[in-house]
Amino acid sequence: MKIENYFNEYFSTIKRSLDFVNFRQLEKAINLIEKVNRKGNKVIIVGNGGSASIASHLTVDFINAAKIKAINFNDSSIITCFANDYGYSNWVDKALDCYANSGDVVILISSSGKSKNMLIGADKAKSIGVDIVTLSGFSSNNPLKKLGDVNLWVDSNAYNIIEMTHHVWLLAIVDYIIVKQNGEQG
């Protein structure tokens, strides 16, 4: 295969994934985040692996650029403490138990939508009264998507395509909020 053909197809796949966004769900996510900001609550962003790095980037942009309170649980001491004491499947549950308050929003990112720690975390968030935004891919009826109040789903079975799409959608949310805060037309 020629390199040009491979990358043209690859980039076309990414563009199709980005264009597949459900604008109603995107708007709902933005509304939840803006409500949290108005009330002085926080956005909690959680992911595993590549999704954890997306959570870190999003947290920085919420805090620094959009001036929205945000945290993530990517400190290895937090993860390993809770995973060691309660099992890896339960570490998100325990972190939310310590850090989440009613009125917060949690963004759970799982490419497969099947990560057990995210599913258990979603149950914990519901029990606390935290709104849930999910980002997932693979099956359109994946378990995480069923637990979200807002769901942004990527129609792909490729981890990198899903993660890149999640990253772009989330950063677009930040940029949209900043544009609104500055009174600009989006």
pLDDT (tens digit per residue) in 7-51: 999 999 999 999 999 999 999 999 999 999 999 999 999 999 999
Tens-place pLDDT, residues 81-90: 999 999 999 9
**Residues 42/104, Cβ–Cβ less than 8 Å:** yes
Tens-place pLDDT, residues 107-165: 999 999 999 999 999 999 999 999 999 999 999 999 999 999 999 999 999 999 999 99
Nearest to 119 by CA among 108, 127, 135, 105: 108
Range 70-78 average pLDDT: 95
Spatial separation of the C-alpha atoms in residues 114 and 4, rounded to whole Å: 34
Q: Which residues pair with 44 in a beta bridge?
A: 71, 106
Nearest to 133 by CA among 16, 19, 27: 27
Domains and CATH numbers, the chain: 3-181 (3.40.50.10490)
Instruction: Report residue 186's pLDDT band, with 50, 70 and 90 as the boundaries.
Output: low
Q: Model-level pTM?
A: 0.95
